Structures are given as C-alpha cells and as structure tokens.
Structure 1
Amino acid sequence: MRTLIALLSLSLSLFANADEKLKVVTSFSILADITQKIAGEKLELHNLVSPDADAHVYQPSAEDAKAVFAADLIIANGLGFEPWLQRLIASTEAPGTRVDASAGVVPLMLNEEGQRVADPHAWQSLANAEIYVRNISNALSQADPANAAYYAERSKAYIDQIHTLLGETRVRMTQLPEAQRTIITSHDAFSYLGQAYGLSFIAPQGLSTEDEPSAADVAALIRQIRSDEVRAVFVENIREPRLIQQIATEGGAMVGGTLYSDALASSGPASSYLGMFKHNIDTLLAALNP
C-alpha cells in the first residue's frame, strides 16, 4: 500500500510539473512582445520596464526582484543596455538562465564621451530583429524542450512577417529625398535604422537618456538645423518633449511626430514591435517627404 501511495504521489508530482508553465522575465517591453509572439500562452511572463517607460532610468520594485528570483529564463537585450539587470540578478541570487537576445549582432560602435562604445539599440534594425527571434526561440526550446516544435513553428511565422515588412520598408524608404535624410531625435537611439536606410540621426542626448545635453550642444544642434534646412524634428515616447520642441522652434523646423525608441506604446499600433517599427517609418516619411 505504501509503495502504491508513493508511486501515485510521484505521478501526480510529475503531471503537475509537466503542466506548469515556464516562468520568463523580459527586461523591457520590446523583448516582452517578441517573446510573447513566439511563446503564445506556453509561458508565464513578467516584464520589467513597461511600455512608454524609460529603461535607462528604471528602478526595480520588490515585485520585480521576486519575479527575477523565480524565473526559469531571464531575457535581456545585452550590449550594455541594462546595467541594472546584472545587479538585480546578483542581489536576488536568481538561479535562472540569462539570455541576451542581441547575441550575434554586429554592434555599431559610437563615440560617447571620448570613448568608443557599443550602441545597444540593435532592435531598430529589422535584420537584427531576426537574430533576436532566433535567440529567444532557441532559449525557450532549451528551457522547455517539450514545446520546442511549437516555438520553432511560431518563430518561423514571425520571421516571415519580419521579412515582409523589411521588403516593404526598403521600397518605401527609396521615396525619401537625399536632402531630407538628416533627422533630429531626443537621444541617440536610431543609428541602426540610419545605417539600414542611409539616414543621419542626430540627438542632443547620447546613447542613454541619463546624459543631459549642454547648452553648447543644443546651440550647435540648432545651428545645424538652420544650415542643413532640416524640415522636422521628432520627439520620443519615453522622453519629455519640451527640449525638442524648443530646438524645433529656434531652428525653424516643425515637430514631425513621435518616434518609439526604447519602449512600445501602451496602446495603439505601436504597442507591438512590428507595429512600432512600421509607425516609425510612417511618421518619418509623412514628415520628411515633399
């Protein structure tokens, strides 16, 4: 009888574990959306930095620390984007596996305060987004091999969507005149987009929104807007718009709309990664085309 009870208890335990969802933490909203598109309802997802929130100034909550400790998988961007994440993992002694979605991306190296540093905003390139999807899909499959085929099928469908949008965007961006390819944004988050389509993005702030621009930097940017006859400047959803509005007014340019840099929108078309990318292209073309 005791043997039968023990076997029954073991069977119930195995059944419960098989039925339990994978616990995954993502560092910010763009990774949360990509992960959810691949995994569907197969996981229990906790995202740290919310839509319309700034990952550069994020402060973890007690709930976030608890979720990180309980996670089977922690999906980060990497490339120095989340310096707070490794401290959070270390402080909670989280046993889960950390995966950097950007692994394999060839980073753009930019000048930042006299040093060459990697630009972490690699998701602004659709070609890099395919790398993100493959890395996340592989990590999910390794952590949850029972659903590996499911993740592979959904990631393939998602990559097909990326390829379709990539083809459409290449055609549309040829419409933009050479004279209107200098673009002003709040912080330096769009270099990968610029590299892909021959655009020059200039910002008063550096790679991190924590870097406050000097008065001299702002004045130089205003002079450049006037001399290059830049038509429009763009605010970002994660930044307070007053500085960009001031630069536009003094430079004689218009505010061309809102771009999504480091976070998705809380609602609307830009609340998904592919929707965000398409919104940014739509906004740029609407403001800069003759």
Structure 2
Amino acid sequence: MFPRSIFALFLSLTLGGALFAEDRKPVIVCSTTQIADFARQVVGDRMVVKSVLAAGQDPHLYEKKPGDAQLVANADLCLENGWHLEGNDWMRKLAEQSGRPLVTCTEGCKSLEVPGGKQAMHDPHAWFSCTNAATYVRNIRDAVIKIDPEHAEEYKSRAALYLDQLRALHNWILREINKIPVEQRVLVTSHDAFNYFCQAYGMTAATPVGWSTGNEIGAGITPERQQETIDSIRQHHVKAIFVETSVNPTKVREIAREAHVEIGGELYSDSMGAEGTAGETYIGMMRENVIIIVQALQ
C-alpha cells in the first residue's frame, strides 16, 4: 500500500497533467518572422505562435533542421508565405509530411513577376506592400476562426485594429517617401526583395542579384547584371545603396565601391529584427526601413 504522501503526489501530478491537456492552447507554426508577427496580432494570447525562421535568417537558403519536423507535427495550423519564398517549398513539405493544415498567406495578393527568369514566376516578397500585408492578416484571421470559431469575434476585433494600423502605416510611408526628390527615388539593395515596396510607394528598384538569394530558381548575379546596376546608379545619380539584414553584404559593398556611392544603411528584408530591436515587429521593420531610406536619399 502506497504511503499517503506518495499517493497524494501521484494524484496531484495526474490531475495536473489532465488539466494542462484540457487547457492546452492551439499552436500555430509559421515559416517566417513576418507571418508570425501577423499571427500574434490576430490571436493575442489565445494561441501559441512559433516561427521556424529566426530573426536574420534567409528563407530562400534555409535548410530544414531535425527539430523542425517535430515543431510542425505539434501544430494545429501552419502558415507559409508561398510563391517559393521558402526555398524548395520547405514549409509546405514539412506540413504535408506531418499531415498538418497549411495556409498560404499570399493567397489573394496580386503578384509581380520575377524579372529575368526563364519562366514567369511570382515575386514572393509581397508583404512589403501594406496592402498585401493586410491580405496576409485577413487570411490568417479566417484560418484561426476555422480552428477556433468560439472566439471568432476576438480574432475579428484584433484583426480590425491591426488593419487600421496597416492603413496608417501605408499613408505614413507615402508621406515620408515624398520627402525624397523624384529623381532620387531609386532603391538599390542586395536582392529583389523590394519590388512591391517600390511599386506601392513610388520608387524604382534596381537590384544586382535577382529575386532570390538561393539557387533554386536561377538566382545569382552575372557580370552583365552587375554592370547594369552600376550604370543605373550612375545614370540616376543615386546617393546611396543599401545592404540587408538577411543577405550577405559583400556584393553590394563591391558595387558601392565601383559606383562611388555610399552605403545608406542596413534594411530589414526577408526577416524581421531580433527581439528587443526596433525591427522586431512588422510595423517596426517597415518604419525603420523607411526612415533609413529617406535619410539616405533625400
């Protein structure tokens, strides 16, 4: 016969485990830091949101780690960007292998085509337009309501507030970019991450590497493309070009030396900033990018 103290401990652990299981929050696993931030804005504390990518990691080059499969296997919902942002579609494959539901957040966005490819491809960096970011948020809102309809009104309310913030951000960006003389609104960065940003906010993109930093769809710079970029910088009398937090800056620094221009700063691109930095949220990364761009080019 068990001593009372041991029996009491056993009962406590058993009941505690049962209660924990009942109170378990749904888990959302996201491919990128931006999508994880959008999800947190919608679900609040109702769900646990995790990101496969960490701050500063490049989704094009990311290689699956052993723990990723288990992370996705424990998810109630998976969220990806789509349009091959996740090199070799690693997020989709993880979800399919685990049989977990997957939502593609770019669904419903109007895509730009990837320049210079052998076949037409969607440019996956759609979140750099606040209008597209709002589409991501609506897709996430609808997806979480499906798995937790009991709290639908909460998710709708949070999403509505955040959509208002995105509209305010959009209008602020337009005002800030207008501080740059029209002829100086040329954005040269490490790779083609900013085409949606430039289209939405009245700038011209001129990037040397191509749409992707990986090799999965013919990415990479050629001597001809590099010279075109240098010529464009000189033609437009560009004051500064920019490196990115998730991309090796070597090539852009080389182009800056050859074109005799300054490095205007470091921009958040395929990943947000680390926790505690000004770019740790989507709104924060967009705000900081715009401030850096305007200060360097105006």
Taking structure 2 as the reference length, the TM-score comes to 0.88
Tell me which residue corresponds to 1:5: none
- CA distance, structure 2, for counterparts of residue 198 and residue 115 of structure 1: 27
Q: Paired residue for 1:274?
A: 283
Evaluate the alpha carbon distance shift between residue 13 and residue 50 of structure 1 in structure 2; reply closer, same or farther with a 3 A threshold.
closer
Q: Alpha-carbon deviation of 1:123?
A: 0.2
| Alpha carbons 1:186, 1:239 under 8 Å: kept | yes
- What whole-Å deviation, never above 9, does each CA across 1:3-32 have from its counterpart, x for those lacking one? xxxxxxxxx999766522111110011111
2:237 to 229, 240, 249: 229
Asked if the contact 1:48/1:60 (under 8 Å) is kept, the reply is no
Counterparts of 2:247 and 2:56 in 1: how far apart (Å)? Answer: 9
Alignment match, 1:243: 251
Within the candidate set 20, 25, 29, 1:25 is matched to 29
Structure 1, 272-281 or 140-149: larger mean CA deviation? 140-149
Output the amino acid matched with 1:150.
Answer: E
Moved over 4 A (4+): 12-18
Unaligned segments of structure 2, at least 5 residues: 1-15
- Give the equivalent residue in structure 1 for 2:268: 260
Question: What is the SS of the residue equivalent to 1:257?
Answer: strand
Verify the 8 A CA contact 1:259 1:280 in the aligned structure 2.
Answer: yes
Q: Give the counterpart of 1:161 among 145, 158, 165.
A: 165
Give the letter aligned to residue 248 of structure 2. Answer: E
- Match in the other structure for 1:186: 190
Instruction: Say whether residues 1:283 and 2:292 are aligned partners.
Output: yes
- Would the alpha carbon gap of residues 14 and 141 (structure 1) be closer, same or farther in structure 2, given more than 3 Å must change? farther
Any gaps of 5 or more consecutive residues in structure 1? 1-11
Map of 1:88 onto structure 2? 94
Indicate the residue corresponding to 1:8 in structure 2. Answer: none
CA distance in 1, matches of 2:199, 2:294: 17
Q: Do 1:21 and 1:42's aligned partners in 2 also have CA atoms closer than 8 Å?
A: yes
- Asked if structure 1 preserves the Cα contact closer than 8 Å seen for 2:60 and 2:85, the reply is yes
Question: Relative to structure 1, is the Cα distance of residues 241 and 212 closer, same or farther in structure 2, using a 3 angstrom cutoff?
Answer: same
The residue type paired with residue 258 of structure 1 is E
Select which of 139, 148, 154 maps to 2:152: 148
Which structure has more strand as a fraction of its residues? 1
Percent of aligned positions that are identical: 33
Aligned residue number for residue 133 of structure 1: 137
Distance, in Å, in 1 between the alignment partners of 2:115 and 2:134 is 26
Q: Distance in 2 between matches of 1:269 and 1:33?
A: 14
Counting only pairs closer than 5 Å after superposition, residues 42-61 of structure 1 correspond to structure 2 as 42-61=46-65
Shift of 1:42: 1.4
After superposition, where does 1:33-112 map in structure 2 within 5 Å?
Answer: 33-82=37-86, 83-90=89-96, 93-112=97-116
Paired residues, what number?
A: 277
> For 2:34 and 2:19, how far apart are their aligned partners in 1?
33
Q: Match for 1:212 among 220, 235, 248?
A: 220
Distance 1:130 1:44 in 2: 21
CA contact under 8 A between 1:188 and 1:208: conserved in structure 2? Answer: yes
Contact 1:232–1:255 under 8 Å retained in 2: yes
Instruction: Give the Å deviation of 1:120.
Output: 0.7
**d(CA) in 2 for partners of 1:150, 1:15:** 24
**SS of match in other structure, 1:271:** coil
Tell me which moved more, 102-111 or 14-23: 14-23
CA-based RMSD of the aligned residues comes to 1.9
Aligned letter for 2:280? S
Q: Residues 135-178 of structure 1: CA distance to partner in whole angstroms, max 9, x if unpaired?
A: 10111111111222221111111111111111222222222211
Give 1:58 shift.
Answer: 0.6
Cα deviation, 1:240-280, whole Å, max 9, x if unaligned, reads 21211111111011100011111001141111001111111
- Corresponding residue for 1:200? 204
Moved more, 104-113 or 251-260: 104-113
2: CA distance, partners of 1:63 / 1:196: 38
Q: Which moved more, 1:81-90 or 1:57-66?
A: 81-90
